[in-house]
Structure 1
Amino acid sequence: MPSSAISRTACLSNFLARMLDSRDWLAARLEASIEARIDADAMRSFIDADHLDEERLGEALRRLRTWVLCHLAVRDLDGRADLAEVTETMTLLAEVAIAAAHEVHREVLVSRHGLPLSISGWEQELIILGMGKLGGRELNVSSDVDLIFVFPEDGETGGERVISNFEFFERLGKRIIRSLADITEHGQVFRVDMRLRPNGDSGPLVCSFEALENYFITQGREWERYAWIKARPLNGERFAELEKIARPFVFRKYLDYGAFNAMRALHAQIRREVTRRDRADNVKTGPGGIREIEFIAQVFQLIRGGRDRELQIRPTLEVLHRLAERNILGEQTVAELSEAYVFLRRLEHRLQYLDDQQTHDLPQDAADRAIIAEAAGFDDEDALLTELERHRRIVSGHFDDVFADPTEKEHKPELEEVWSGAGNDDQPDPILAELGYADPRAVCEKLASVHESTRYQQLPAHIKSRLDALVPRVVEAAGATPSPDQTLSRCLTLLETISRRGAYLALLQQYPHALQRVADLMSASSWATEYLTRHPVLLDELLDDRHLDQTPDWEAFSAELGEALDAIEPDMEHQMDMMREHHHAQVFRLLTQDIAGKLTVERLADHLSALADVILERTLPLVWRKMRKRHRDDPAFAVIAYGKLGGKELGYASDLDIVFLFDDDAPEAMESYSRLAQRVNTWLSTRTAAGILFETDLRLRPNGDAGLLVTSIEAFRKYQLEAAWAWEHQALTRARFAAGDRQVGEAFETIRQEVLCRQRDLDTLRADVLEMRQKMRGAHSGKGEGFELKHDAGGLVDVEFIIQYLVLGHAHEHPELARNLGNIALLGKAGELGLIPAELAAGCSDSYRLFRRLQHRERLNGRPSRVRSEEAEAAREPVIALWHEVFEADAG
Structure 2
Amino acid sequence: MDHPPGHAPATAPEQALHSNCNHPMTMHDAVTHPTLAPGLAHSRFLARLFQRDPQLADRTAQQLDTPFDIAQMQALLATPADDEAAFKRQLRQLRQAVMARLIARELAGLSDLDEALATVSALADLTVRKALDWAVHHEMRHGRPIGAESGREQALIVVGMGKLGGSELNVSSDIDLIFVYDEAGETDGERRIGNQEYFTLIGKKLIHLLADPTEDGFAFRVDMRLRPFGDAGALVSSFAALENYLLTQGREWERYAWIKGRALTGDDQGLMQLITPFVYRKYLDYGAYASMRELHSQIRREVARRDMADNIKLGPGGIREIEFIGQVFQLIRGGRVKSLRERGTRSTLRELAALKLLPDDAVAELLTAYTFLRNLEHRLMYIDDAQTQMLPAGAEDRQRIAASMGFSDWAAFCEALERHRAAVTRHFEQVFVLPDGQDQNHPHAPLWRDAHNGESTAQGLARLGYADAAEIQRRLALFRGSSRYQQLSERSQRRLDAVLPPLIEVAAGHPNPDATLIRILDLLEHIGRRESYLALLAEHPQTLKRLASLYSASPWVSEYLTRHPILLDELLDSRLLYQEPDWHAAADALRRELAELDGDVEAKMDLLRHFQHTQVFRLVAQDIAGLLPLERLSDHLSDLADLILAAVMDEAWRDLARRHTDTPAFTAIGYGKLGGKELGYASDLDLVFVYDDAHPEAAETYARYAKKIVNWLSTPTAAGTLYDIDLRLRPNGSSGLLVSTLEAFEQYQCEAAWVWEHQALTRARFVAGDPQIGRSFEAVRCAVLRRARALPQLAAEVIAMRERMLETHPARAGDVKYCRGGIVDVEFIVQYLVLGYAHAHVDLTANRGNIALLGTAAAHGLIDPELAGSARDTYRALRRLQHTSRLSGDTLAPEALAPLASGLASVRALWQALLGEVI
Task: Mark yes or no: TM-score above 0.5.
Answer: yes
1:427–1:441 CA contact under 8 A, matched in 2: no
1:553 aligns with 2:579: no
Secondary structure at the counterpart of residue 711 of structure 1: strand
Aligned counterpart for 1:824 among listed residues 817, 841, 851: 851
Partner of 2:208: 178
Q: Which letter maps to 1:710?
A: V
Partner of 1:101: 131
- Report which stretch shifted further, 543-552 or 240-249: 543-552
1:713-751 residue CA offsets vs partner (Å, 9 max, x unmatched): 222122212221111111111111111112221222122
Q: CA deviation at 1:284?
A: 0.3
Aligned counterpart for 2:793 among listed residues 760, 764, 785: 764
Aligned counterpart for 1:872 among listed residues 893, 900, 904: 900
1:668 aligns with 2:697: yes
1:842 aligns with 2:872: no
Secondary structure at the counterpart of residue 858 of structure 2: helix
Q: Which letter maps to 1:316?
A: T
Write out aligned runs for 1:66-85 (5 A).
66-85=96-115
Partner of 1:733: 762
Q: Which letter maps to 1:201?
A: D
Q: CA deviation at 1:829?
A: 0.9
Whole-Å Cα distance in 1 between the matches of residues 886 and 654 of structure 2?
Answer: 38
Q: CA deviation at 1:658?
A: 0.7
Whole-Å Cα distance in 2 between the matches of residues 796 and 147 of structure 1?
Answer: 70
- Report which stretch shifted further, 1-10 or 707-716: 1-10
Write out aligned runs for 1:138-537 (5 A).
138-236=168-266, 238-407=267-436, 413-428=442-457, 430-537=459-566
Whole-Å Cα distance in 2 between the matches of residues 886 and 355 of structure 1?
Answer: 96
1:169-200 residue CA offsets vs partner (Å, 9 max, x unmatched): 10111111122222222222222111111111
Partner of 1:644: 673
Q: In structure 1, list runs of 5 or more residues that go unmatched.
A: none
1:54–1:105 CA contact under 8 A, matched in 2: no
Secondary structure at the counterpart of residue 148 of structure 1: strand
Q: Structure 2 length as normaliser, TM-score?
A: 0.94
Whole-Å Cα distance in 1 between the matches of residues 376 and 303 of structure 2?
Answer: 19
Secondary structure at the counterpart of residue 186 of structure 2: strand
Aligned counterpart for 2:914 among listed residues 883, 886, 891: 886
C-alpha distance 321-49 of structure 1, shift in aligned 2 (>3 A): farther
Whole-Å Cα distance in 2 between the matches of residues 703 and 429 of structure 1?
Answer: 62
Whole-Å Cα distance in 1 between the matches of residues 180 and 815 of structure 2?
Answer: 69
Q: CA deviation at 1:854?
A: 0.8
Whole-Å Cα distance in 1 between the matches of residues 128 and 618 of structure 2?
Answer: 50
Q: Which letter maps to 1:42?
A: Q
1:753 aligns with 2:782: yes
1:678 aligns with 2:707: yes
Partner of 1:59: 89
Q: CA deviation at 1:486?
A: 1.0
Partner of 1:15: 45
Q: CA deviation at 1:410?
A: 8.6
C-alpha distance 341-176 of structure 1, shift in aligned 2 (>3 A): same
2:578–2:621 CA contact under 8 A, matched in 1: no
Q: CA deviation at 1:429?
A: 5.4
Q: CA deviation at 1:865?
A: 5.8
C-alpha distance 697-782 of structure 1, shift in aligned 2 (>3 A): same
Partner of 2:623: 594
Partner of 2:153: 123
Q: CA deviation at 1:760?
A: 1.4
Whole-Å Cα distance in 1 between the matches of residues 202 and 844 of structure 2?
Answer: 82
- Report which stretch shifted further, 220-229 or 415-424: 415-424
1:117–1:158 CA contact under 8 A, matched in 2: yes
Q: CA deviation at 1:680?
A: 0.9
Partner of 2:890: 863
Whole-Å Cα distance in 1 between the matches of residues 96 and 33 of structure 2?
Answer: 18
Secondary structure at the counterpart of residue 667 of structure 2: strand
1:807 aligns with 2:807: no
Q: Which letter maps to 2:124?
A: A
1:144-177 residue CA offsets vs partner (Å, 9 max, x unmatched): 1000000011111111111111011101111111
Aligned counterpart for 1:655 among listed residues 659, 679, 684: 684
1:605 aligns with 2:634: yes
Whole-Å Cα distance in 2 between the matches of residues 778 and 825 of structure 1?
Answer: 30
Whole-Å Cα distance in 1 between the matches of residues 185 and 313 of structure 2?
Answer: 43
Q: Structure 1 length as normaliser, TM-score?
A: 0.97
1:25 aligns with 2:55: yes
Q: CA deviation at 1:871?
A: 4.1
Whole-Å Cα distance in 1 between the matches of residues 419 and 684 of structure 2?
Answer: 58
Whole-Å Cα distance in 1 between the matches of residues 205 and 83 of structure 2?
Answer: 13
- Report which stretch shifted further, 451-460 or 787-796: 451-460
C-alpha distance 174-247 of structure 1, shift in aligned 2 (>3 A): same
Q: In structure 2, list runs of 5 or more residues that go unmatched.
A: 1-30
Whole-Å Cα distance in 2 between the matches of residues 491 and 85 of structure 1?
Answer: 53
1:778 aligns with 2:804: no
Q: Which letter maps to 2:865?
A: A
Q: CA deviation at 1:551?
A: 2.5
Secondary structure at the counterpart of residue 141 of structure 2: helix
1:52–1:104 CA contact under 8 A, matched in 2: no
Secondary structure at the counterpart of residue 159 of structure 2: strand
1:75-97 residue CA offsets vs partner (Å, 9 max, x unmatched): 11111110011111111221222
C-alpha distance 548-502 of structure 1, shift in aligned 2 (>3 A): closer
Secondary structure at the counterpart of residue 905 of structure 2: helix
- Number of aligned residue pairs: 887
Partner of 1:795: 822
Q: CA deviation at 1:701?
A: 0.9
Q: Which letter maps to 1:852?
A: R
Whole-Å Cα distance in 1 between the matches of residues 528 and 80 of structure 2?
Answer: 60
1:682-732 residue CA offsets vs partner (Å, 9 max, x unmatched): 111111111101001111111111111111122212221222111111111
1:562 aligns with 2:591: yes
2:516–2:551 CA contact under 8 A, matched in 1: yes
Q: Which letter maps to 1:465?
A: R
1:535–1:690 CA contact under 8 A, matched in 2: yes
C-alpha distance 351-405 of structure 1, shift in aligned 2 (>3 A): same
User: Superposition RMSD on alpha carbons, in Å?
Assistant: 1.7
- Report which stretch shifted further, 40-49 or 516-525: 40-49
Secondary structure at the counterpart of residue 745 of structure 1: helix
Whole-Å Cα distance in 1 between the matches of residues 730 and 421 of structure 2?
Answer: 67
Q: CA deviation at 1:101?
A: 1.6
Partner of 2:5: none
Q: Which letter maps to 2:314?
A: T
Q: Which letter maps to 1:69?
A: M
1:624–1:676 CA contact under 8 A, matched in 2: yes
Identical residues among aligned pairs (%): 52
Secondary structure at the counterpart of residue 819 of structure 2: coil
- Report which stretch shifted further, 358-367 or 833-842: 358-367
Whole-Å Cα distance in 1 between the matches of residues 795 and 892 of structure 2?
Answer: 28
2:811–2:820 CA contact under 8 A, matched in 1: no
Partner of 2:66: 36
Q: Which letter maps to 1:532?
A: L
